Amino acid sequence: MKPRPSPAPAITGVPARLRPHLTRLTVLLIVFSAGYSVGIMSSSSVRPSSTRPSQTVIRPHAAHLTVSGEANGSAAAATANYPRSPPHDLFRFREECGEAIPSDAVVATLLDKVFDGESPYEKFPSPHTAALLRPPAARPRGWGSTGAVFAELIEQVRPRVIVELGAFLGASALHMAAVSRNLSLSPPPAILCVDDFRGWPAFRAARFRRDVPPPRHGDALLLPQFMSNVAAAWRDGDGEVMPMPFSTASALAALCEWGIYADLIEVDAGHDFHSAWADINLAWAVLRPGGVMFGHDYFTAADDRGVRRAVTLFAKVKGLTVRPNGQHWVLSPKPLRVSAAGE
């Protein structure tokens, strides 16, 4: 009979009830340690990538949104249709207008569509209105309103229709009418003066108090004062200078719709970039081919952030040249249309 082997010595410190599970616990501990070690080695072998900052995407009607650099595929697909550069809408203006009416029918068309067929100068001013106005000025207040550029361009273009954006008290319009008569233009051009005749905030400073009437029930009274100055200067030809008392955008849209085109356009309304940019583009549509557009405030304190920037950008887009003339700017004539057949 073989002797019975002696039992294995007991593992010191391990309770008897845990001994059956010791092998399983040891395996789990080894697996955990191996996984932890592999993770540390993997993280140390991979170079950490720099975090991409969020990128702002310019989009129409959603410029305030941002797309993270870690955006998922669906978000990237959704934004792919939006341009990262300014949208072409900023350059999209109406270029085709209504069929042109004869130049000698322009004033009659305006009287019919704006003043119910009656001249606004008819029986003007009424006694009530006259009592509210300043005496007509022989030389109304203006800025650069008698510069040499007016005579130069009127003699060059010999316009039948002139559109002026920004009339105020009529200084430029009356000067252009006088130049046209001195040049014996026959018939004299119709001068359409587009202005809302509301002025601008705080325009009644001390420098204007002698030129503009006091307001009446919130009415600036600039339109009747303008008409008073015109009527006093041209009693025998009031129809040459016609007011269009609307915003530049709405007036130019109407001229475009009615087929009223100008041979010469002066832009002297809003002096900020956005106003000037809109005025120049909208007015270009109603400028006859071969006509000339010019304007004021090319050199101002705004430097390249106002009118000059709008003029420069427009000339670049249209392939035109800009010629400074004192404080004025002059664009090269509007190109003549070329038919599709090349005729």
* Other Cβ atoms closer than 10 A to 332: 14
pLDDT band, residue 137 (cuts 50/70/90): confident
Least confident piece of the model among 69-73, 140-144, 305-309? 69-73
Distance between CA atoms of 41 and 44, rounded to whole angstroms? 5
Has residue 54 got a pLDDT over 80? no
Task: Name the average pLDDT for the chain.
Answer: 80
Q: What is the pLDDT of residue 29?
A: 73
**In this prediction, what percent of the chain has a pLDDT beyond 70?**
72
pLDDT band, residue 105 (cuts 50/70/90): very high
Residue 133 C-alpha from the chain's centroid: 35
Q: How many residues does the chain have?
A: 343
Distance between CA atoms of 199 and 152, rounded to whole angstroms? 29
What residues does each domain of the chain span? 102-120+147-331
Domain 102-120+147-331 has CATH 1.20.140.10: no
3-state secondary structure of 268: coil
Share in percent of the chain as helix, strand, coil (round to 5)? 40, 15, 45
Helix axes 248-258, 106-114, angle to 10 degrees: 120
User: In this structure, which amino acid lies at residue 237?
Assistant: G
Q: What is the pLDDT of residue 147?
A: 86
Has residue 322 got a pLDDT over 70? yes
Residue the block writes with tokens 């650099």: 69
* Other Cβ atoms closer than 10 A to 151: 17
**Higher pLDDT, residue 201 or 25:** 201
Q: What is the pLDDT of residue 300?
A: 75
Has residue 233 got a pLDDT over 50? yes
Q: What is the pLDDT of residue 94?
A: 81
Q: What is the pLDDT of residue 237?
A: 54
Distance between CA atoms of 254 and 260, rounded to whole angstroms? 9
Least confident piece of the model among 95-104, 110-119, 203-212? 203-212
pLDDT band, residue 150 (cuts 50/70/90): very high
Q: What is the pTM of this model?
A: 0.72
